[in-house]
Amino acid sequence: MFVSAAYAQATGGTGSLTGGLGGILPIILIFAIMYFLMIRPQQKKMKEHKAMVAALRRGDQVVTQGGIIGKVAKVKEDGEVEVEIATDVKIRVLRHTISAVMNKTEPSE
**Per CATH, which fold does 57-109 belong to?**
SH3 type barrels. (2.30.30)
Residue 5: the pLDDT is: 65
Question: How far, in Å, CA of 10 to CA of 14, rounded?
Answer: 12
Share of the chain above pLDDT 70, in %: 78
- For 16-65, the pLDDT digits (tens) are 555 677 789 999 999 999 999 999 999 999 999 999 999 999 999 999 99
Please count the residues of the chain.
Answer: 109
The structural domains of the chain, with segments of one domain joined by +, span 14-54, 57-109
Average pLDDT, the chain: 85
Q: How confident is the model at residue 104 (pLDDT cuts 50, 70, 90)?
A: confident
Checking if the pLDDT of 90 tops 60, the result is yes
Question: How far, in Å, CA of 87 to CA of 71, rounded?
Answer: 10
Alpha helical stretches, state H, 1-109: 15-34, 40-54
Checking if the pLDDT of 97 tops 60, the result is yes
User: Residue 75 forms beta bridges with which residues?
Assistant: 81
Checking if the pLDDT of 15 tops 70, the result is no
Q: What is the enclosing helix (H) or strand (E) of 103?
A: strand 98-103
Q: What is the enclosing helix (H) or strand (E) of 2?
A: none
Residues sharing a CB contact under 8 Å with residue 81, sequence separation 6 or more, in sequence order: 56, 62, 72, 74, 75, 92, 93, 94, 95, 98
